[in-house]
Amino acid sequence: MVKYQKWNCNIEMMIKNCLMWMAIPVLAFSLSCDKNNKVNFLSVADDIKLGREVDQQIMNTPAEYPILPKANYPVAYGHMERIFNSILASDKVVYKTEFPWEVKIIQNDSVLNAFCTPGGFVYVYTGLIKYLDSEDHLAGILGHEIAHADLRHTSRQLTQKYGFDILIQVVLGNNAGSLVTIASGLKDLTYSRSYETESDAKSVEYLSGSGYQCNGAAGFFEKLADPSTSEPRPPQWLSTHPNPDNRIRDINAKAQNVGCSTTPLKPSSYQEFKNSLP
């Protein structure tokens, strides 16, 4: 099984490592530095194909992923897409024009979670939307998920978990069983601490200049850390990642370093958004 290694993006190192993997067909293997100056076994085109395959599988499993139909909830999707597109307008999103970028709402009020596929398909649970107190906080979380896709964390993490050979077969449409497994496990995909920290920081950068409170993601962790609040089931990944206090501190420090606005957005139609959900 091919596992991900972190390599420096320089020609000499890439040549050495390419020689190690000459047994893999050239057609399937596209080792290169991406726009984030990171090496990824999958190409950007592979990210998009894999994302589309997983998205279709998610849409085909409504028992596990009850996606709200856009046609039935136009007001809710109007709010969600407005927020989502405001973040994607940032020039800090490096794959803003390459990735298809879609956001969908999963109806489950008992789950506090959001997740993404490679290529920019983002999913947000109604439990998280209703739990958050403001549009700024949701924007912060969306920025975090956009960062996982944009920094290509998701494809690298999936490569580490399942192996390049399995993922490329899914991309080529030759491994339906693995596709089902990947789609089912994506909501609980565990990222490294460094990936989470990097995505928190990128969320601040994306929201800088957007009109949103650029440290909006901290609002979610502030509420989680408040012992007086009750919440639905928190996401599984939270138990293995930096604790809320540390993430609040780091997000606020990043905002101070960037010098972006931490003033809450006013007025906000966030309650209207919540009211439009089932």
b or e along 124-134 (b: 16 or more beta carbons within 10 Å of the residue's beta carbon)?
Answer: bbbbbbebbbb
Provide the 3-class DSSP secondary structure of residue 111: strand
- Percentage helix, strand, coil, to 5, in the chain? 50, 5, 40
3, part of any domain? no
* pLDDT by 10s per residue, the chain, length 278: 333 333 345 444 443 344 333 334 433 344 568 899 888 889 999 999 999 999 999 999 999 999 999 999 999 999 999 999 999 999 999 999 999 999 999 999 999 999 999 999 999 999 999 999 999 999 999 999 999 999 999 999 999 999 999 999 999 998 899 999 999 999 999 899 899 999 999 999 999 989 999 999 999 999 988 877 766 666 655 655 667 889 999 999 999 999 999 999 877 789 999 999 99
Q: How far apart are CA 92 and CA 208, in angstroms?
A: 9
33, part of any domain? no
Provide the 3-class DSSP secondary structure of residue 247: helix
14, part of any domain? no
11, part of any domain? no
Structure tokens at 76: 């809710």
Domain count, the chain: 1
Q: Residues in the chain, how many?
A: 278
Residues with Cβ within 8 Å of 180's Cβ and at least 6 positions away in sequence, in order, are 57, 61
Is 143 within 8 Å of 101 (Cβ atoms)?
no
248, part of any domain? yes
Does the global pTM surpass 0.75?
yes
Q: Identify the domain containing residue 156 by its residue range.
A: 44-275
2, part of any domain? no
75, part of any domain? yes
243, part of any domain? yes
